[in-house]
Amino acid sequence: MAEYRKHEAREWARAKMRGVANVIIPTFTQDLQGLNERAIRHDVRKEIEYGFWGALLVAETATTLPEYSQFATWAVDEAKGKLHLIHHASFNTLEENITAVQAAERAGAELILLSYPANFYPESNEDIYNYTRAFCAQTNLGVILFPVPLWGFERLHPAGFAPALLKRLVDEVPNIVAIKAEGGHPTIAGFIQTYKMLNDRVVVTFPLESDGLPLASVLPLQFMGTSNYEYFGPMIPRIFALIQDGHFDKAMELYWQIHPARMTNINVMGMIAGSNFIHRMIWKYQGWLSGFNGGPLRQPTMRLVDRQMKTLRQGLVAAGLDATVDPDKAFFVGR
């Protein structure tokens, strides 16, 4: 159970959400009939080793509701309070998402990242408001709102989430504790407007490290997440901590060191533009290069091909970062 009550969620988030949150993508057994407990526990330990404050328990990998609950239970048990685990509210319907979040809450998840189902087609800001409020009412956990072009809400407002809608949700839904503000991407305008409007009330963050790290040096940014930071090993928590401690010059030395890998990541992810879905197998491969388990994912999944793997591996080498020497075939087996 979370260490705060629902009415204390914002106070807890302001005090405790300090650091970088990565992701954990569940690993399956080789026959894909169940989850791989040893692999999941390995990845939790690696998150802690690399200095991450927390991690999103990714749901978009064809896990069943009981499997996701088991995934959360193992992750919480292995974390032993050293890693804050974030539930991923990304199931098929509102009803499924409520069932899933209540199970994750019982398992010990501490926060929620709220997604919207692929079949959710709001015709007004009121529809978005109603879905969001209905979900938040059914959990005691703090919720991270996620304005991002993935949802396709730009037909209602160019930023996806209208600023007035964000303000109304923060006004009227007390367990909204943070905003992962990517509205208007690839610009940072949505983040800047949201930060100026609401950061005194909830934690506002920008998760893309290419901009988030420099932004953290010019305005108070206590938390960054969630994203595929695992590609860079321990570097993103390390750079973020240096910025928080006032060591800007040292932070920027490391920022520029990893820039070749950063540009590789941006270019590879650009290959899937227009899919409106994150390539979880690429993210899992990126983690495997840096010591995470890797391993098979169920279909449907985006396919990982040789040119992508070679490019990502070369990006780490160019940045002087550690990359496994294991052959790429080993990724599909896992550690």
Per-residue pLDDT band for 316 (boundaries 50, 70, 90) equals very high
Q: What is the pLDDT of residues 295-315, one digit of tens each?
A: 999 999 999 999 999 999 999
Distance CA 32, CA 235 (A): 32
Give residue limits of the domains in the chain: 6-332
Q: List all residues 6 or more positions away from 81 whose beta carbon is below 8 Å from its beta carbon.
A: none
Q: What is the pLDDT of residues 209-244, one digit of tens each?
A: 999 999 999 999 999 999 999 999 999 999 999 999
Q: List all residues 6 or more positions away from 226 whose beta carbon is below 8 Å from its beta carbon.
A: 21, 22, 23, 54, 55, 56, 86, 113, 180, 207
pLDDT the model gives residue 272: 76
Question: Is 271 a residue whose pLDDT tops 90?
Answer: no
Domain 6-332 class, CATH top level: alpha beta
Distance CA 167, CA 200 (A): 12
Sheet arrangement for strand 223-225? 203-205, 176-180, 142-145, 111-114, 84-89, 54-57, 19-24, 223-225
Give me the mean pLDDT over the 70-97 stretch: 99
Q: What is the pLDDT of residues 156-175, one digit of tens each?
A: 999 999 999 999 999 999 99
Rounded to two decimals, the pTM is 0.97
Distance CA 44, CA 293 (A): 10
Q: What are phi and psi of 84, to 5 degrees?
A: -85, 125
Distance CA 49, CA 53 (A): 10
Q: Which helix (H) or strand (E) is 133 found in, with range? A: helix 125-137
Per-residue pLDDT band for 270 (boundaries 50, 70, 90) equals confident
Residue 179, SS3?
strand
